[in-house]
Amino acid sequence: MSEIKPPTLPTSTSTVVTNQAPSIPTATAATATVAATADMPIATPSLQPQAASLPQYSVPGPAQGTTKYQQLLALIEEMGKDIRPAYTGNKICAERLKRVLVHARILARECIMEADRDRAKQQS
């Protein structure tokens, strides 16, 4: 009769047995490089919400024959384009809105002075 021997464990002290689940392969820089070299676009999801788009316009100079009042109305119209982006935190639009407000105050004062001059001319 032959004896059945129990299995022996390795005698090395450097071997450590852990009760971890097998790891799941994840995307690494190497797999991204392989995909990029295959001339295929890599879709990367955006972690940030879409930012409000900046209004793209240029402030035209005053047209010939327009009154200060018409310039003020046009300026107020353009200010409306910057209000929402400035409210949502866009610093560029907020700074532009501040500059336009200063310009609008100046135009409003000039409109008042112009109206006073016209009234004085009509009275005399």
pLDDT band at 124 (very low <50, low <70, confident <90, very high): confident
pLDDT on residue 35: 47
Query: Which H or E run contains 70?
Result: helix 68-87
pLDDT on residue 47: 53
> For residues 69 and 31, is the Cβ–Cβ distance under 8 A?
no
| Residue showing tokens 């327009």 | 66
**1-10, 18-27, 65-74, 114-123: the lowest-pLDDT one:** 18-27
Q: What pLDDT digit, counting tens, does each position of 84-95 carry?
A: 999 999 999 999
89: containing domain: 68-123
Nearest to 59, CA basis, from 47, 46, 71, 42: 71
Quick check: is 73 in a domain? yes
Quick check: is 17 in a domain? no
Quick check: is 45 in a domain? no
Quick check: is 49 in a domain? no
Quick check: is 5 in a domain? no
Mean pLDDT of the chain: 74
Quick check: is 101 in a domain? yes
**Burial of 97: CB neighbours in 10 Å, binned 0-12, 13-18, 19+:** buried
Asked if residue 51 has pLDDT above 80, the reply is no
pTM: 0.49
Quick check: is 38 in a domain? no
pLDDT above 70 covers a percentage of the chain that reads 49
pLDDT on residue 54: 59
> For residues 72 and 111, is the Cβ–Cβ distance under 8 A?
yes
**1-10, 44-53, 113-122: the lowest-pLDDT one:** 44-53
Number of domains in the chain: 1
* Of 10 and 104, more confident: 104
